[in-house]
Structure 1
Amino acid sequence: MEFTEIVQERRGRGAWIRLARPKALNTLTPTLVGEFNAALDQALADPAVIAIVVTGTGRAFCAGADLKFLNELPEDQRNRRMAEFLESVLQLMLRLEKLPKPVIGAVNGLATGGGMELLLCCDLVVAAGSARLGDGHANFGLLPGGGGSVRLPRKIGPTRAKYLFFTGELVPAAELVAAGLVNEVVEDAALEQAVERLVGKLSNKSPLGLARMKTLVDDGLEQPREVALRAELVAGGLHAHSFDMREGIAAFNEKRSPQFRGV
């Protein structure tokens, strides 16, 4: 399909999805959500893609949802269409979170509201030094609608999360490294190169191994410790039958680089 609100790009083994509504701070629309899902379909179908990168255009990563389209509808349709749109955003977030390939958030600028919620669904986050992050819903009398109230406390702890929720403040990305939301902050001009290096570090890893490790970590956070440990043991037994594990061991013994197939 032809994209109008995102830009899709392949860089090495990374599939880049760039939100492309800079004048509107890359806010989410029904069209953008549909295009985002289509881009994910293509990235997942390509075995050469090891990781998916999400970033923005201009001075924002994403400033949340754009609800202006509701003004063009008859009043009796607005509540229904808003509910449908928010459900589509929520489903996109859930899908992004559960993707079998690592997702990297490249925060080029402002990330607030739904933009913050989008980042919470990324596995790794690299941010530009000038990037500022926060929730912002309280500034407009709104509630999080993309899973922020659930994911943010689990990511950075309830006290830090409540501060961002209650105050609506935007804070420098560097302040959220110690909190665990951001992995690395780099100079603005070095953001994309830093993300490309990170994708490069993943490029020689087993796609199957990465997918299973992601599942173990994410599922383990939601389970009692003993249940999670048993799940890891079961996954290890299953993984022992994979080509990639056998290839990895053979490559180690033969002192060569492994040639993984993702199976």
Structure 2
Amino acid sequence: MTEKLIDSGMVLLDLDDSGVGRLTLNRPEAANGMSVPFLRALYDALMRCHSEPRLRVLVVSGAGPNFCAGGDIKDFASKGEGLPDYLREATSWLQISVSALMRLNAPVIAAVHGFAAGGGGFGLVCAADLVVAAESAKFLPGATRAGMAPDAGVSVTLPRLVGLRRAMNLVLTNPILSAEEALDIGLVNQVVPDAELAEAADRLAATLAAGAPLALAASKRLLWDGVGRSVETGLPDEARTVSELSGTADAREGLAAVIERRRPVFTGK
């Protein structure tokens, strides 16, 4: 039996009898792009997870064709000169949501299909404990392509996951990684046929749900703490940098170019 903990809105949450929770990003019309209201809903759902003693494992997925395309660039572009203030708020909600994922006692599985891009999508992948990807999934850091910098803790998590040189290449040149390429560099744990994604994620979730909750929670905490500089330490620096960059002409050009599907022309201003 499945209980609907949050059954409407931009983020959905349910919990079954075995303790498996399923959090669904629910803005399919915007490729689950992250706006401030969306990020508030995500945080609220994660706080519900933290307060739910029955939760043994959390599976995060996206509704519609994509896992998450990152920030809602149309929403960002509409803010004009107010974008830095808006992004300060957006990155604050994103930061505490990422921290909430990593500090959740229950293991977190990201089940990824379509695009996982930007701080929203790519960042959530990096913040998950385990990642199962559909064969057609694509991964893209994307920030510098839009005149921005990494957020969601990616500046800390990505180098630890794939190594500094690979992280530099991914962030600075923005290749679109296939699921197999993501598997090869250690960004994801498992790649399965598209039609088997939900089943594979559920199978892994069932294995974790049958494990020792206290041991899994302690092990997860030790591994995240062992990252070195804690992700939380890097988050304020990321937020400050992203907000400052969002006020530049290059950031406005980057957003416009993505919306208009053309190559950006950056001027360094």
TM category, shorter: 0.7 to 0.9
TM-align CA RMSD: 1.9
Amino acid at match of 2:171: F
Question: Which residue in 1 is equivalent to 2:180?
Answer: 174
Structure 2 length-normalised TM: 0.76
Question: Which residue in 2 is equivalent to 1:9?
Answer: 14
**Residue 41, structure 1, aligned to residue 47, structure 2:** yes
Partner Cα separation in structure 1 for residue 80 and residue 177 of structure 2? 38
Deviation at 1:14, TM superposition (A): 1.4
Identity of aligned residues (%): 35
Greater Cα radius of gyration, structure 1 or 2: 1
The structure-2 alpha-carbon separation of the partners of 1:78 and 1:33, relative to structure 1 and needing over 3 Å to count, comes to same
Deviations 1:50-70 (A, max 9, x none): 011111112211111115445
2:100 to 76, 95, 117: 95
Partner Cα separation in structure 1 for residue 46 and residue 184 of structure 2? 30
After superposition, where does 1:21-170 map in structure 2 within 5 Å? 21-70=27-76, 75=81, 77-114=82-119, 115-170=121-176
Runs of 4+ residues over 6 Å off in structure 1: none
Partner Cα separation in structure 1 for residue 29 and residue 89 of structure 2? 25
Deviation at 1:125, TM superposition (A): 0.2
Structure 1 length-normalised TM: 0.78
Structure 2 runs not aligned, ≥5 long: 1-5, 230-269
Deviations 1:81-114 (A, max 9, x none): 2212112212211221221111110002101112
Deviation at 1:13, TM superposition (A): 2.1
Partner Cα separation in structure 2 for residue 172 and residue 70 of structure 1? 27
Q: Indicate conservation of the 8 Å contact 1:112/1:170, yes or no.
A: no
The structure showing larger relative contact order (alpha-carbon pairs under 8 Å, at least 6 residues apart) is 2
Deviations 1:111-155 (A, max 9, x none): 111211111110000000000112112222221122212211111
Structure 1 runs not aligned, ≥5 long: 224-263
The structure-2 alpha-carbon separation of the partners of 1:71 and 1:171, relative to structure 1 and needing over 3 Å to count, comes to closer
Partner Cα separation in structure 2 for residue 199 and residue 164 of structure 1? 29
Question: Which residue in 1 is equivalent to 2:195?
Answer: 189
Partner Cα separation in structure 1 for residue 122 and residue 203 of structure 2? 23
The structure-2 alpha-carbon separation of the partners of 1:68 and 1:197, relative to structure 1 and needing over 3 Å to count, comes to same
Amino acid at match of 2:85: R
Question: Which residue in 2 is equivalent to 1:222?
Answer: 228
